[in-house]
């Protein structure tokens, strides 16, 4: 299914998500509005390295990034293998492959939608939202 987000369209393989397409779309809309930071969807991950990388990506907190090398070290594989698995992620955004960057912070590609431009918009959205939350906490104190 194609999902519009931040002036791009991202393809999501809904066959690996147990909830309905309406639920998927609703949660992505909430994410785009800034009302959702984590997805409450059951995703069926494949066996092997792709599943391991997807699980590791799903654990990256909202608004944070990890490098391909960080994930590779955790999974005892190579950064190239992690990058290839990121590129095969069937559910971008839901499993946040946009949060995986190069060791120098470079975005280094994105397989969904408009590539790096979309990855940048997603990361900027999360960073902006993080600052809003931090500002709220500071003013509420």
Q: Mean pLDDT, 10 residues at a time, over the chain (141 residues)?
A: 93 97 97 94 97 98 96 97 96 96 88 86 88 45 46
Amino acid 131: pLDDT: 60
CA dist 13 and 105 (Å) reads 28
This prediction has a pTM of: 0.88
Catalytic residue among 12, 97, 101, 122: 97
- The DSSP code for 1 is -
CA dist 109 and 117 (Å) reads 9
Angle at 114 between CA 108 and CA 83, to 5 degrees: 30
Q: Is the domain 2-140 a CATH 1.10.10.10 member?
A: yes
- Give which of 86, 92, 85, 88 is closest to 24, Cα–Cα: 92
What helix, strand, coil percent values describe the chain, rounded to 5? Answer: 50, 10, 40
> Is 86 marked active-site?
no
């Amino acid at each position: 299914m194609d999902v519009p987000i931040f002036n791009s369209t991202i393809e999501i393989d809904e066959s690996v998500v147990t909830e309905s397409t309406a639920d998927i779309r609703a949660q992505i809309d909430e994410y785009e509005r800034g009302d959702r930071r984590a997805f409450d969807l059951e995703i069926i991950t494949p066996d092997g390295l792709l599943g391991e990388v997807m699980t590791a990506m799903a654990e990256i907190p909202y608004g944070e990034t990890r490098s391909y090398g960080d994930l590779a070290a955790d999974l005892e594989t190579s950064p190239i293998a992690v990058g290839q698995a990121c590129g095969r992620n069937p559910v971008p955004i839901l499993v946040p492959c946009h949060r995986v960057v190069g060791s120098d912070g470079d975005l280094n590609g994105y397989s969904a939608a408009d590539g790096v431009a979309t990855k940048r918009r997603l990361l900027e959205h999360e960073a902006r939202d993080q600052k809003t939350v931090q500002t709220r906490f500071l003013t509420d104190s």
